[in-house]
Amino acid sequence: MSDILKALGQVLEQRKNAAAEDSYVASLHHKGLNKILEKVGEEAVEVVIAAKDAKNSGDNENLIYETADLWFHSLVMLSHLGESPEAVLDELARRFDLSGLVEKANRQQ
Ligand SMILES: N=c1c2ncn([C@@H]3O[C@H](COP(=O)(O)OP(=O)(O)OP(=O)(O)O)[C@@H](O)[C@H]3O)c2ncn1[C@@H]1O[C@H](COP(=O)(O)O)[C@@H](O)[C@H]1O
């Protein structure tokens, strides 16, 4: 697993016990799930807009920036609900090398 994802997951957990005034992540945990979900939704829309702009301009810099914002806020959401980045990476590992078409066909049987 990526070292930075693991380290970030640990920081997000620690921030549950931090003061909202000292930390952006702590402020989100204090505001609660609805605020966190609002941020996830906002960042998802920003990713979509950045992708359209990148297609038109050929410049992916803002798309990378907005995608990092979306990943980050998704990790805060998972942490708030007691999950870790490892859980998502484990799920991706489980799916690895399994064709999406085959997986869908198996589901429909
Ligand atoms: N990776 C991030 C990260 N990415 C984005 N952000 C913050 O997410 C916010 C994104 O909000 P917007 O762009 O919507 O800007 P905004 O208008 O300020 O947000 P709102 O007031 O609307 O909520 C900004 O404040 C960014 O600084 C992040 N804040 C923290 N981290 C990581 O989390 C760690 C802990 O952060 P703190 O809890 O602040 O110490 C940091 O050391 C970083 O590793």
Angle at 75 (CA atoms; ends 46, 92), nearest 5 degrees: 100
CB of 15 within 8 A of CB of 23? Answer: yes
Distance 72 CA to ligand 1 centre (A): 8
Say what the pTM is. Answer: 0.92
ipTM computed for the complex = 0.91
- The verdict on the CB of residue 29 being under 6 Å from ligand 1 is no
Tell me which amino acid residue 93 is.
A
Q: Render each residue's pLDDT in the chain as its tens digit; 109 residues.
A: 589 999 999 999 999 999 999 999 999 999 999 999 999 999 999 999 999 999 999 999 999 999 999 999 999 999 999 999 999 999 999 899 888 888 888 887 7
Q: Which protein residue has the closest C-alpha to ligand 1 atom 25?
A: 24
